[in-house]
Amino acid sequence: MSIKKVVVAGGGVLGSQIAFQAAYCGFDVTIWLRSQGSIGRTQPKLASIKKAYLDTIAKMDTPEGKSPAIFAMGIANPDTFNADDCRKKVEAAANAIKLEIDLGKAVSDADLVIESMAEEKKSKKEFYKTLAPLLPAKTILVTNSSTMLPSAFAKFTGRPDKYLALHFANEIWKNNTAEIMGQDKTAKENYDAIVAFASDIRMVPLQLHKEKSGYILNSMLIPFLFAGLDLYATGVSDPETIDKTWVLGTGAHAGPFRIIDVIGLTTTYNIVLMYVKIPGCIAPYHFKAMAKILKQYLDAGKLGLSAGEGFYKYKK
Ligand SMILES: NC(=O)c1ccc[n+]([C@@H]2O[C@H](COP(=O)([O-])OP(=O)(O)OC[C@H]3O[C@@H](n4cnc5c(N)ncnc54)[C@H](O)[C@@H]3O)[C@@H](O)[C@H]2O)c1
């Protein structure tokens, strides 16, 4: 099927980015939000994403801009890059995204709904149950959940053959991975439609052949972040030194705490809490101590890059 109308459910860190990227690539995009208050929280996120695109384009439009560390493949291809065209697409995207709190109205003609709500099983399940009778028969439904399997929700969607996972990375204009993972009822044609859609919004489709909690990326990333947090929580070292050790020792561009700031401390805290709650968890990390430290940062309003401060301070 040809996807034109896209609805993103949830306008948080990732939902706003997915919406912006799809609008940047010319799709008709609506973000569904649960309340007027959520609209007030999503608008500044969209404004800062627009600024991030424009700042990235400005950096790409310099003599060193084609280096892989600077050039954002979600924005353009190096050989056809034209900064003015990209800026026009950014303006058009920012003006075109619709925000809607009436779910039925938002999805009434949707070809694709991308669920990117908070990582809470109960909320997602309730959302799918409410959504199922409102969706047109044609609509493909995907989840951007980082830690939950689509098979856990398929039966609540009313369309298991049209339900799968499409998982993005944070800062999707730069980190343009799209992990695509079906469950046993997903029809191949719908899986393939999502592979094509991912390419159409300038992502690199990465196909999983079976369900795996954490997909490919987080299966590697999460133990890495836990290892960093554990070193801090047990007093072995501090965030700056831990990050510096990783960057100097491997040539990577960021260490675990810089990455957590980008992901957001709330999401990280929720993941750590899941492990705190596993009875007799044998993973070799001090999850309670890690949760305590993250909670102290959250209580101080240090939510990460999007809030201007997390483990590090950022210029607004
Ligand atoms: N942050 C990341 O780096 C990242 C990366 C990839 C995938 N994800 C996934 O994307 C999803 C969203 O994560 P995020 O970081 O954007 O979270 P977030 O906390 O920034 O945003 C969550 C959004 O969901 C909305 N929401 C929460 N509960 C709701 C409910 N009951 N009904 C309707 N809306 C509700 C909030 O208002 C907000 O708009 C999660 O499933 C997460 O696992 C996050």
Tens of pLDDT, residue by residue over 227-258, are 999 999 999 999 999 999 999 999 999 999 99
| Residue 115: strand, helix, or coil | strand
Our answer on whether the CB atom of 49 is closer than 6 Å to any ligand 1 atom is no
pLDDT at 282: 81
Residue 78 Cα to ligand 1 midpoint, Å, equals 32
Residue 10 Cα to ligand 1 midpoint, Å, equals 6
| 196 neighbors 171 (Cβ within 8 angstroms) | no
Tell me: the pLDDT tens digits for 76-135?
999 999 999 999 999 999 999 999 999 999 999 999 999 999 989 999 999 999 999 999
**Bridge pairing between strands 204-207 and 177-181:** parallel
Cα–Cα distance, 219 to 224 (Å, whole number): 9
Say if residue 9's pLDDT is above 70: yes
Residue 120 Cα to ligand 1 midpoint, Å, equals 9
Residue 167 Cα to ligand 1 midpoint, Å, equals 12
Cα–Cα distance, 45 to 154 (Å, whole number): 30
Of 160-174, 255-269, 273-287, the least confident: 273-287
Is residue 283 very low, low, confident or very high in pLDDT (cuts 50, 70, 90)?
A: confident
Q: How many CB atoms lie within 10 A of CB 311?
A: 24
Number of residues in the chain: 316
- Residue appearing with tokens 């909690």: 213
77-85, long-range: CB < 8 A, 24+ apart: 83/57, 83/58
Residue with the smallest CA separation from ligand 1 atom 35 is 117
pTM of the model as a whole: 0.85
Q: Outline where 97-216 has alpha helix (H).
A: 103-107, 121-131, 188-200
Q: Write down the mean pLDDT value for the chain.
A: 96
Provide mean pLDDT across the span 260-288: 91
- Work out the end-to-end distance of the chain between its first and last CA atoms, rounded to an integer number of angstroms: 41
